[in-house]
Chains A and B, each alone.
Chain A
């Protein structure tokens, strides 16, 4: 490690945004009795294995639509992809296959599973973070 970046306003935004994410997951769990996992909700819809299609579509509409409204209102667009197209498409495929094979992603395992004290989710989260760290180390 070559030093640590401390960006305090960003840390505050991270905490606030994190609480919003956790609040959304709690709403989904306590009212609808579901785990809020982005890859599970999308994957079950597109591969046809999932139930409650209307509920999945409604969740995705909120997830895709509301950030667009916020970006249009604030003009702030913080996505800056440096990867070239071949890398980008391979990465997308890996994320799609990997999250379905591993039964979850950052939201399902990282937030909902870890807070349930699930050993499976803890193992998955440690694994995908480690794989991400090594990938950035090797390919960046």
Chain B
């Protein structure tokens, strides 16, 4: 049952990314152009607003009951640390350079052309490389 629910959530997520404009890299870069160059396009702020709204209600349910098909709610991680901020800086640079973050890169993987596929391949390479880079540092 859980994979079916995950597939439905993935489908709704992908559809939402497409409808909202998150796969439109020109619009993403227009949103990030808060300090220029050119005019600022605030449209994508409404994606985040629209997405946070149902989730505010969803999190309010969690103290009172268990998930339908799971034993417990996601663990809450606390505390700010270096990797959180450093990772977010690296991610933000990559996001700004092209205008794709992980969800939209996957949502446009099969129709976005070779450049989206190349970006996604490099992203997966980075994801696979990180634990190995960590192991090198620890050794």
**Chain A residues within CB distance 8 Å of chain B:** 1-7, 10-11, 13-36, 38-39, 42-43, 46-47, 49, 52, 54-68, 70-72, 77-83, 85, 87-103, 105-107, 109-112, 114-120, 123-125, 127-137, 139-140
Interface SS of B by simple majority: helix
6 closest Cβ pairs, A-B complex: A96-B126, A18-B50, A17-B20, A102-B87, A131-B92, A92-B122
**Chain B residues within CB distance 8 Å of chain A:** 2-27, 29-30, 32-44, 46-59, 61-62, 66-74, 76-80, 83-103, 105-113, 115-116, 118-131, 133
Number of A-B contacts (CB under 8 A): 490
Partner of B52, one of A7, A115, A128: A115
Q: Judging by beta carbons under 8 Å apart, are B92 and A19 in contact?
A: no
Q: Judging by beta carbons under 8 Å apart, are A19 and B54 in contact?
A: yes
Q: Judging by beta carbons under 8 Å apart, are B24 and A79 in contact?
A: yes
Q: Judging by beta carbons under 8 Å apart, are B15 and A35 in contact?
A: no
